[in-house]
Structure 1
Amino acid sequence: MNVAYPVRLLGTGAYLPTRQVTSANLDAEHQRPAGATERLGGVRYRHFAAPHETSTFMAAEALRQALATAGLAAHELDMLIATSVLPEQPMPTNAVLVHRAVGLSPHATCFDVNGSCLGFLHALETASAGLASGRYAYAAIVASEVASKGLNWDSSETSSLFGDGAAAVVLGPASPPDEAAVLGISFETHSQGADLCQIAAGGTRYNVVTPPPTPEDYFFRMDGPGVFRLASGVFPAFLNRLLHQAGHPREAIDCIIPHQASYMGLRFLTQRLGLDPERVVQILPTHGNQVSASLPSTLHAAVSSGRLRRGQLGLLLGTGAGVSLGAALLRY
């Protein structure tokens, strides 16, 4: 069942680490043929975090920028949701650490969500419901990832693709005649693909007390072709249902904001989903796949560049480990 939320996107922000790493750098460092890394991932360069650029440092920088754009002070936020695949530490949450760094009010509700690459959309649904109910006046979502610390450099497929960074949005309620709203949001989980993308160690199963079979289990592992086959088989019908329930055809969408999963994934959007390539925002070549920070970073790029303007329809969509599907249609 589709539920619309009268919510307005007030501000966005993003942070990229200062260290820029080109694909040519990685070719030389890991003894790959010239051009091999860019051909594999479609990424010209990405940014890797320095030691001081922790997950919460980057999230706090992005949130400060989003608050400034929204014209709000930190103490006005009632809710902060942080999302990441790997938080800075098991406890307390990234949200609590960002709360301290930015100086939010004690009354602000703060917690983390982990929805893999779709964490931002899960947080968007949660925050939108809270705002629409009147429980909160203003909410923020921050997504921050240091993916570079989880890469196996012996795997050219995965190590060619990912980058670090953070992004944030600030949300508030919308009321007539303001047409801004989250018009539809939907998820599906196809858990037969649970083993296709994973980090096996680092939780309660394998850790320093109960070591994994190999140290490589601490690194990210992906069966890219397997994920693509599964997602491509179920995503068209999934998207059709969301757009039908929201009452908007593909042709009405002004700006398409995808998770920057891979070059193959972005090509799939236009070839198999029937989406206009001119309306698709791509930051993969200069950011890489930023995991949960990918969608809000792409949203920030769409808004700050003017590709998504007030009153227009934006479609956010992507896949995550699981395999999970997610999409949200909003009027900005």
Structure 2
Amino acid sequence: MAKSTLSISRPCRIVSTGQYLPAPVSSESIEEKHGLPKGWSMKYSGVNVRHQVTHETLAIMGSQAAQQALDAASLTLDDIDVFITGGSGFDQIIPCQAALTLSAMEGGSHAHCEAFHVNTTCLSFVTAFALAADKLQLPDVKRVLVVAAEVASKGIGPENWETLTLFGDGAAAVILEETNLPHCGLVAHMHKTYTEGTQAAQIPGGGIAKWIEDHAFDPALHHFHMDGRELLRLALEHLPTHMTEFFARTGTSWSEVDWTLPHQASKTGMGMIPKLAQVHPDRVINILEHTGNCIAASIPMALHELVYKDRLQPGQTAFMTGTSAGFAIGSLLYQHA
């Protein structure tokens, strides 16, 4: 199928991307520190190196990734009309993370653009990308800067080896702009939540239901808990229907997509993608071994890998997809020009 036959629902164009990674932490050092068998992380989590903050906040990491995207496009914050942050974490409960990240940017103290935060956990960037495309259909919005930053290392305890070795910290950003180029932009976006999986991935404490004044720190409440088997069961149950419905909207099929950018959920999940898509593994951006699962930052980090190395060419499609706590499945197809 010729790519030009795809129908663009929301014209927009990726201008540039940026990324920030804190200090690398090897699996060998984690295994030695916590008494795990040597090689356990690579065998079961598929992660050799992840990155963990030493002094950085979400605002610091996000602002660095955003600045890199601005510099790559020879732009400044004055050129941005809407600033969107996405992710499961926050530096403070109030104000919203978008305000904190924007204020940490070069020129942020004088920025007056619209800024807001999106939290659909692992799918936050995909949701934010779709919202950015929506905003770019307005006559007074020319460019949108989307930033996803996550610090997983703060909420991970040593009691679960899978989560201990799987997750990493990092941030990535993308600038989208309005375009009149034909066949460039968002083709389709779909997000569905299946609340039967609400407790399959969660941090129960820290919110209104279990407020900090009423509940002292307890790993059972304040560390991330994930039931990997239940999440895999939910994915296997709902993914086939989701993909069938999604691609029915696009006028193409998964196997015809040029690049698949999945959420870097797990070694098992990443191994399933080429088989489900019926594509060569080289067409699936897999950065899990070198970054770990960076929650909402995983997909934009994969996108940065694609854009930074000039692998996303005009006319090609990029399919962003993944699952998130909730349980939810989200997908977005973008065509470049």
- Normalised-by-shorter TM-score class: over 0.9
* Amino acid corresponding to residue 16 of structure 1 in structure 2: L
Distance 1:272 1:255 in 2: 14
Distance 1:171 1:5 in 2: 12
Aligned counterpart for 2:228 among listed residues 197, 220, 224: 224
C-alpha distance after superposition, 1:5-46 (max 9, x if no partner):
1000111000000x2111111110001111112212100011
Distance 1:168 1:316 in 2: 15
Alignment of 1:19-58 (within 5 A): 19-51=23-55, 53-58=56-61
Deviates more, 1:3-12 or 1:189-198: 3-12
1:172 counterpart = 2:174 = no
Alignment of 1:187-266 (within 5 A): 187-211=191-215, 214-266=218-270
SS at match of 2:136: helix
Contact 2:15 2:73 in 1 (8 A): yes
Contact 2:12 2:178 in 1 (8 A): yes
- Report the CA distance shift for 1:85/1:26 in structure 2 as closer, same or farther (over 3 A): same
Contact 1:182 1:330 in 2 (8 A): yes
Distance 2:311 2:245 in 1: 25
Aligned counterpart for 2:70 among listed residues 61, 64, 67: 67
| Alignment partner, residue 15 of structure 1 | 20
* Amino acid corresponding to residue 231 of structure 2 in structure 1: V
Displacement after TM superposition at 1:251 (Å): 3.3
Deviates more, 1:199-208 or 1:164-173: 199-208
| Alignment partner, residue 92 of structure 2 | 89
Deviates more, 1:21-30 or 1:239-248: 239-248
Structure 2 unmatched ranges of 5 or more: 1-6
1:320 counterpart = 2:324 = yes
SS at match of 1:272: helix
Task: Give the alignment's TM-score, normalised by structure 2.
Answer: 0.93
Distance 1:171 1:10 in 2: 6
Displacement after TM superposition at 1:106 (Å): 4.1
1:114 counterpart = 2:114 = no
Identity %: 34
1:182 counterpart = 2:173 = no
* Amino acid corresponding to residue 69 of structure 1 in structure 2: A
Displacement after TM superposition at 1:305 (Å): 2.0
SS at match of 1:117: helix
Distance 2:132 2:301 in 1: 18
| Alignment partner, residue 142 of structure 2 | 137
Distance 1:213 1:25 in 2: 26
Contact 2:58 2:101 in 1 (8 A): no
Contact 1:201 1:212 in 2 (8 A): no
Contact 2:45 2:165 in 1 (8 A): yes
| Alignment partner, residue 330 of structure 1 | 334
C-alpha distance after superposition, 1:266-319 (max 9, x if no partner):
112122343432200110000000001111011101111233222211111000
Displacement after TM superposition at 1:259 (Å): 0.6
Tell me how many residue pairs correspond in the alignment: 328
Aligned counterpart for 2:272 among listed residues 243, 268, 284: 268
| Alignment partner, residue 150 of structure 1 | 155
Displacement after TM superposition at 1:206 (Å): 1.5
| Alignment partner, residue 4 of structure 2 | none
Distance 2:217 2:165 in 1: 25
